[in-house]
Amino acid sequence: MKVYFDNAATTRTCDEAIDAMLPFFTTKFGNASSLHSWGREAREALEKSRETVAAFLGADADEIIFTSGGTESDNIAIRGIASRHGSGHIITSAVEHPAALETCRYLEKKGFSVTYLPVDRYGMVDVEMLERELRDDTILISIMHANNEIGTIEPIEKIGRIARKHGIPFHTDAVQSAGKLPIDVKNMPVDMLSISSHKLHGPKGVGALYVKRGVKLESLMHGGGHERGLRPSTENVAGIVGFARACEIALDSMKEDAAAMGKLRDIIIGGVLEIEESYLTGHPTERLPNNASFYFRGIEGESLILMLDSMGIAASTGSACSSKKLQASHVLLATGIRPEDAHGSLRISLSRYNTREEVDYFLETLPGVIEELRKISPLWPK
Ligand SMILES: *Cc1c(COP(=O)(O)O)cnc(C)c1O
């Protein structure tokens, strides 16, 4: 049996998105800036996709900038505000994705001051502390909607209301929540919001940044003025069309998908926690419906992933980016987990394509794998 449980890293492109994209590689290959019929056809598809992605987020079409993905969206938002001010103070959290975290670290080197808010043991940002950290020169608050490693949903409504009260722009990285939690920017105090196609069954290399009308960003790139000058370069029309189709499907089926994934997630959590010295990471209730994350005492995460892989199961430890560095996950450390325990982490992330049979196979397989690894572990028995 082959089981893909690493949907927070990337998802399978859905057939509907592939079908929608194909003509834009073959007959409809025009440049959306060209004046002839090929160009107009591409432009029409691009603008229709913009409307679809806008509807997915509850935005207006002119508030959507297409990008190359979540990383670029985060960079355009954070650095776009920073460049416009030239100096100032930014508030973010200790558990952000590297796309936001490393961008803030870079700005710190460039002379900006940055507050990295700590989190509680569930990975939740303290909203009152955030308000206390505000300064006269605070230019931006950037806090993610839901965490990619532990699935914790941050209180972005409350954070956004504080930002509004103080007239500070608020950016949120919604790459993991889009398609799993309802997002409606018209009714959310959010000024900028990042999403990525390949995390919701669209193709890789495409994303979007919602920029509320009136929010001004300085462009990081200079060129032909595409995407309101914020993202010059010939538009990836095929990718954008596939992304829009994936958003459309995600919006239609979000309720059922989230409910179904939530059930499987709870079965996984219940089953895994029966293993001796296993612990849930992230928030017990305020978490993504597709995320089940844990750590196991006396286990080395990389070995666990390879053993599971040899049994046909794809999962991850730490985040896909940080796992290669062999450093304990900054997210788990921020929740107060000891480094040696953080090294024994496991993240299961589901998609709408996962089944009960796959969950049962995983739960039958995991205890034996943990037992084998503990037999050869210098950290076990504790
Ligand atoms: C995957 C991810 C990103 C990066 O998105 P890409 O499209 O791969 O650049 C950013 N933020 C979060 C929370 C993510 O999970």
pLDDT in tens, 32-63: 999 999 999 999 999 999 999 999 999 999 99
175 lines ligand 1 (CB under 6 A): yes
Look at residues 99, 93, 162 and name the one whose alpha carbon lies nearest to residue 122: 93
Mean pLDDT of 339-353: 96
Task: Quickly state the pLDDT bin for 281 (edges 50, 70, 90).
Answer: very high
Residue 325 has a pLDDT of 55
pLDDT digits (tens, 9 = 90+) for 133-191: 999 999 999 999 999 999 999 999 999 999 999 999 999 999 999 999 999 999 999 99
The CA distance from 47 to 24, in Å, is 14
71 lines ligand 1 (CB under 6 A): yes
Task: Quickly state the pLDDT bin for 326 (edges 50, 70, 90).
Answer: low
Mutate to test the pocket of ligand 1, among 10, 93, 176, 236 (most ligand atoms within 8 A of CB): 176
pLDDT of 319 > 50? The answer is no
What pTM was computed for the model? 0.97
Residue 146 has a pLDDT of 98
Please tell me what DSSP assigns to residue 355.
-
All structural domains of the chain: 3-10+254-375 (3.90.1150.10), 15-249 (3.40.640.10)
Task: Quickly state the pLDDT bin for 318 (edges 50, 70, 90).
Answer: confident
Residue 324 has a pLDDT of 52
Catalytic residue set:
321
Mean pLDDT of 122-138: 98
Task: Quickly state the pLDDT bin for 379 (edges 50, 70, 90).
Answer: confident
Ligand 1: centre distance to CA 215 (Å) = 23
153 lines ligand 1 (CB under 6 A): no
What tokens were used for 257? 């998908």
SS3 258: helix
Residue 282 has a pLDDT of 98
207 lines ligand 1 (CB under 6 A): yes
On average, the pLDDT of the chain sits at 96
293 lines ligand 1 (CB under 6 A): no
User: Prior bond to 381 cis, omega within 30?
Assistant: yes
H or E segment to which residue 346 belongs: strand 345-349
Ligand 1: centre distance to CA 97 (Å) = 7
Mean pLDDT of 62-69: 98
Please tell me what DSSP assigns to residue 272.
H
What tokens were used for 363? 């739960």
* Nearest ligand 1 atom to alpha carbon 99: 10
